[in-house]
Structure 1
Amino acid sequence: MSVANSQPRRTRSGSRRDEAARLAVLHAADDLLAEHGFGALTVEAIARRAGVAKQTIYRWWPSKVEILLDTLIEDSGKRLPIPTDKPTAEGIRGYMRAFARFVTRDPAGKVLLALIAEAQHDPATAKLLHERHLGPRREQERDMLARAIDAGAISPGLGADAIDALVGAIVYRALTGSSVPYRLVDALCDDLLGARTG
């Protein structure tokens, strides 16, 4: 047996993502969306900004929507975690305030709004957004409310579905370019959760 054949085979990296390049692509997509909007965002522009080949991006992501979804999922997980500690009305209000900040001030929140807008006329985007982000996150948010209901911290007339009324009102304001002041968030929480949180 030759020496060459006796060496262990080196694992080929193939299409495995280089973490630095992956993060550069996600950050580039996030920044370009904030600067130019969804319509002007292209894979070519993302590749230029990230300093990677366009072919590399297409090997990892089939479309700009998939890139933006990965950006959204990663950033919302870090910057908008869903509380898992003891459920309280005050904790839910804090989360809703953070959500209002996220969709009005955070670049990742702008990604969420852009994908929601795109989903209105692109069924494929709507399906991906629901499957990969909105659906799983809504289940966690409903669980947060359900635990608070079980603990007697809140008593919303809508049950755990009150999360839809809370999130929906905030997203509507953000989508229409309106501010989402904390007093509005607090009033929504007080009215919809059946508990005074202030």
Structure 2
Amino acid sequence: MITSPSSVRRSERSRRATLDAALELCTEKGYGRVTVEAIAARAGVSKKTIYRWWPSKGAVMLEAFAEAFVGATPFVDTGDIAADLRTHINAAVRVVSTPPYGPAYAGILSEMHHDDDLARAVLEQLVGPRVEAAVGRLRRAQEQGQVPAGADLPLAVEMLYGPVYYRHVLRRPAQDEATVAALVSHVLRSLVTGDDAAPAGTRDDAPAQG
């Protein structure tokens, strides 16, 4: 089972060098051609040191990606849930669609289908906490009356992230800001039910048609 590396026993300088080396090599060679030996040589650490801190290449890549992704995609709260979701999703799109993080995450998503330990680590260290944070932001919007009380918040998160992953995994062009705005608007409208519902395209936050 993949566990989080110990931050007590390892040198931060060596950790950073290892993560940076993994990302650089992934961009240069492609995820599948990167080896732990190559990461160790580029980082100036021993292969034994890497295996003492991480159980696999995938675990190294996951820590490198997750650290960057979480830092670049905070769930801000300006009081405007639509604006905040646009900010968040646009940042997520930028991270997963540009080197070095995009190639690394594409490799991780592919490898996790053949590595149960890595799959669990992705869910525990990245996906689970990000979904929880997204649901928490939507819940605050719900408390502020911006999201209906009966809305299915976990489903809303899947609707927001699903198109991002779809394009990333199938290597389709990433969403631009207008597409993200349309996505956020559509998801928020879909959460409105009953007497509060308005026909699509009639609400103030509907994207302009060009």
Superposition TM-score, scaled by structure 1 size = 0.83
Q: Which runs of 5+ in 1 are unaligned?
A: 1-14
Quick one: which of 31, 37, 40 aligns to 1:44? 37
The structure with the larger Rg is 1
Quick one: which of 88, 96, 109 aligns to 1:103? 96
Q: Which residue of 2 aligns with 1:93?
A: 86
Shift of 1:38: 2.1
Q: CA RMSD of the aligned region, Å?
A: 2.1
Q: Which residue of 2 aligns with 1:174?
A: 168
The 2-side partners of 1:43 and 1:147 are apart by 43
Shift of 1:197: 6.7
Work out whether 1:76 is the aligned partner of 2:59: no
Q: Which residue of 1 aligns with 2:199?
A: none
Superposition TM-score, scaled by structure 2 size = 0.79
Work out whether 1:162 is the aligned partner of 2:184: no
Q: Which moved more, 1:107-116 or 1:161-170?
A: 107-116
Q: Which residue of 2 aligns with 1:29?
A: 22
Quick one: which of 113, 116, 123 aligns to 1:120? 113
Partner-residue secondary structure (3-state), 1:39: helix
The 2-side partners of 1:72 and 1:50 are apart by 17
Q: Which residue of 2 aligns with 1:185?
A: 180
Shift of 1:168: 1.1
Matches within 5 A, 1:114-153: 114-153=107-146
> Once superposed, which parts of structure 1, at least 4 consecutive aligned residues long, lie more than 6 Å away?
none
